[in-house]
Amino acid sequence: MAEQTMKAIRFHENGGAEVLVLEDAPRPAPGEGEVLVRVHAAGVNPVDSAIRRGSFGSATLPGTPGLDLAGVVEAVGPGVTAFAPGQMVFGNGRGCYAEYALASAAALALKPANVSFDEAGSVGVGARTAWGGLFEVGGLQAGQRLLVHGAAGGVGIYAVQLGKWKGAEVVGTASAANFDLVRSLGADTVIDYNATRFETMVEDADMVFDTVGRETQERSWQVLKPGGILVAITGRPSEEMAQQHRVRLGRVGPTSAPPDVMQRIAELLEKGLLRTVIRKVFPLSEAREAQILSETGHGAGRIVLHVN
């Protein structure tokens, strides 16, 4: 049988956004436990640019970026019973900047009807990372004080909402342009990081959830109460600093969230307890522009590639 092809964004060498090209590529086939999804929307994450640059070592080339998708199940691999062709799904996949992409069945959930494909495609990495960091790594409890750095970002928007859902007091840092958004997500207090040093306003925090890193991270130890925890999704926080301040350090990775996290996120989206924020939608052919915008590190919510 002739190999089936699809349109995909690919890079044949590591480098800047200019290495991304839209071209024909082989359509992947689902293996054991995998689902082939006809992609309608793909989320653009900062890590996509890092992978493109080769920051995580030598990946197989050519590569197709993209870890977030929403679309329709085209086919399922051996052993997959949870999904069937024709179902609308969203979650984490790989090579999602393409007309078709593979996902582990465990990393998908049915797309709630009240959420569009573009919206659903923006959710996966952000919501998974926030859930894993707040609840699994950090053990956030009702009544605790949570400081979220980068509260308007693609991960921060979920950290704020999930923190409130859990019953925590939530303080977020954002630039003035994103103030109203962060408040609308439920934050009790928003601090304009350009105008006010957060450490003059926050003390005795049970948790800092840091999506920003660098100097913001270094200044965060002092706002934690003894025994509190700095949960970092970026940067290189030191165990020594944690010990000096008599607090704990937690690092978040792709496996920090529980296996059924996408189902739980889907339930919250369906009930209107969680929502996404889209910064901008680009057509698949403008993946370069989308990644360049993502690389600014500023702006509210997640960038999405509209594929289909």
Q: Which stretch binds ligand NAP (CB under 6 A): 23-31, 84-92, 251-259, 270-278?
A: 251-259
Shortest Å distance, C-beta 178 to ligand NAP? 4
Regarding 92 and contact with ligand NAP (CB under 6 A), the answer is no
Asked if 264 touches ligand NAP (CB under 6 A), the answer is: no
DSSP 8-state code for residue 47:
H
Q: Which is nearer to ligand NAP, 30 or 299 (CB)?
A: 299
Q: Mention every residue, 6+ apart, whose C-beta is less than 8 A from residue 167.
A: 141, 142, 143
C-beta of 30 vs 150, nearer to ligand NAP: 150
Our finding on whether 209 is near ligand NAP (CB under 6 A) is no
Q: Does position 161 bind ligand NAP by CB under 6 A? A: no
For ligand NAP, the closer CB: 98 or 233: 233
Question: Could you give the CA distance from residue 213 to residue 185 in angstroms, rounded to a whole number?
Answer: 22
Contact by Cβ (8 Å): 208, 231: yes
State the residue number with the nearest CB to ligand NAP.
153
Nearest to 188 by CA among 152, 147, 155, 225: 147
Amino acid letter at 151?
Answer: A
Contact string 56-85 vs ligand NAP (x = CB under 6 A): ------------------------------
Q: Which two tokens stand for residue 281?
A: 């939608």
How far apart CA 7 and CA 281 sit, in angstroms, is 18
Tell me the β-bridge partners of 34: 104
d(CA 276, CA 302): 8
Q: Which of 14, 87, 116, 175 binds ligand NAP (CB under 6 A)?
A: 175
Tell me, residue by residue from 177 to 206, as one string, x for binding to ligand NAP by CB under 6 A and - for no binding.
Answer: -x--------------x-------------
> 215 CB contacts (<8 Å, ≥6 apart)?
none
Angle at alpha carbon of residue 206, lines to 202 and 211, rounded to 5° = 75
Residues within the interface to ligand NAP (CB under 6 A): 45-47, 125, 129, 149-150, 152-156, 173-175, 178, 193, 211-212, 216, 233-234, 252-254, 297-300
